[in-house]
């Protein structure tokens, strides 16, 4: 077993040294090319994985930035609503007329003066809430608050036009008394 096939072919005279070197050289180059292809495919695969991970990271960053932007806009709206309520609220020193309204399925009661009660009923004032406190604000302010977030508006009656009667109203002859409270 000491003699390889190549040595045996040389001894028999079928192959000379020049031809042996040429075959070894070709075989060596083929192996190098195959290794290069493997390395190239590995490099291409690694590059593809890197690009894919970068794209995924960019998508995560974009979503995170979008969420941060939405949170910032929400906080700005809350700050604007707070400023509107604190600057435009009407001081409602405890009155003697109760105004009943619903919030979250529960009936709440707010004691107002007679003039404030009439203004709330007429739609000139609205009841808003912020930090668990109820405040009265003018209609224009309530509309600005509703543009930003309607959940802060508790009571916003539609402004009534005086003597606006429909011609075919069967109860037109029976006016509602002004002092009727529910």
Each residue's pLDDT tens digit, 20-63: 788 888 888 888 777 766 667 777 888 888 999 999 999 999 99
Average pLDDT, the chain: 84
**69 shares its domain with 127:** no
Q: Is residue 25 part of a domain?
A: yes
Instruction: Answer yes or no: is pLDDT of 1 > 50.
Output: no
- More confident: 33 or 71: 71
Instruction: Check whether residue 119 and residue 145 sit in a common domain.
Output: yes
Query: Is 72 found in the same domain as 33?
Result: yes
Grade residue 162 by pLDDT with cuts at 50, 70 and 90: low
- pLDDT confidence bin for 145, thresholds 50/70/90: very high
Q: Clarify whether residues 84 and 21 are in a common domain.
A: yes
* Same domain flag for 83 and 96: no
* 58 lies in the same domain as 38: yes
Identify whether residues 76 and 99 lie together within a single domain. no
d(CA 34, CA 41) in angstroms, rounded, equals 10
- Same domain? 26 vs 77: yes
Tell which of 88, 118, 141 closes a domain: 88
Let me know whether 73 and 102 are in one domain.
no
Lookup: tokens for 120: 């709330």
With a CB cutoff of 8 Å and minimum separation 6, the contacts of 134 are 108, 110, 127, 128, 154
Per-residue pLDDT, averaged over 169-177, amounts to 78
Q: Does pLDDT of 165 surpass 70?
A: no
Same domain, 64 and 105: no
Q: What is the H or E stretch that residue 154 is in? A: strand 153-155
Is 142 in the same domain as 119? yes
Residue 7 covered by a domain: no
Is 1 within the bounds of a domain? Answer: no
Confidence at 136, pLDDT banded by 50, 70, 90: very high
What pLDDT, in 10s, does the model give residues 75-95?
Answer: 999 999 999 999 988 887 678
Q: Which residue has better confidence, 113 or 33?
A: 113
Residue 148 forms part of a structural domain: yes
Supply the range of the domain harboring residue 80.
17-88
Determine what percent of the chain is predicted with pLDDT higher than 90.
30
Are residue 50 and residue 95 in the same domain, yes or no?
no
For the chain, count helices (H), then strands (E).
4, 5
Of the candidates 103, 99, 104, the residue with the CA atom closest to the CA atom of residue 120: 99
Domain total for the chain? 2
Q: How large is the average pLDDT for residues 106-119?
A: 89
Residue 178 lies in a domain: no
């Amino acid at each position: 077993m000491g003699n390889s096939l190549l040595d045996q072919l040389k001894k028999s005279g079928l192959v000379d040294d020049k031809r042996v070197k040429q075959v070894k050289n070709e075989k060596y180059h083929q192996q190098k090319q195959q290794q290069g292809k493997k390395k190239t495919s590995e490099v291409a695969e690694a590059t593809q994985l890197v690009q894919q991970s970068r794209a995924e990271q960019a998508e995560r960053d974009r979503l995170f930035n979008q969420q941060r932007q939405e949170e910032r806009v929400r906080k700005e709206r809350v700050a604007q609503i707070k400023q509107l309520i604190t600057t435009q609220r009407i001081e409602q020193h405890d009155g003697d007329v109760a105004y009943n309204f619903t919030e979250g399925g529960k009936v709440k009661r707010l004691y107002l003066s007679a003039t404030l009660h009439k203004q709330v009923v007429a739609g000139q004032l609205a009841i808003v809430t912020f930090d668990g406190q109820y405040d009265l604000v003018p209609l224009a302010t309530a509309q600005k608050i509703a543009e930003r977030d309607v959940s802060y508006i508790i009571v916003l009656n539609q402004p009534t036009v005086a003597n606006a009667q429909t011609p075919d109203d069967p109860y037109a002859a029976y006016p509602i008394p002004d002092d009727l409270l529910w």
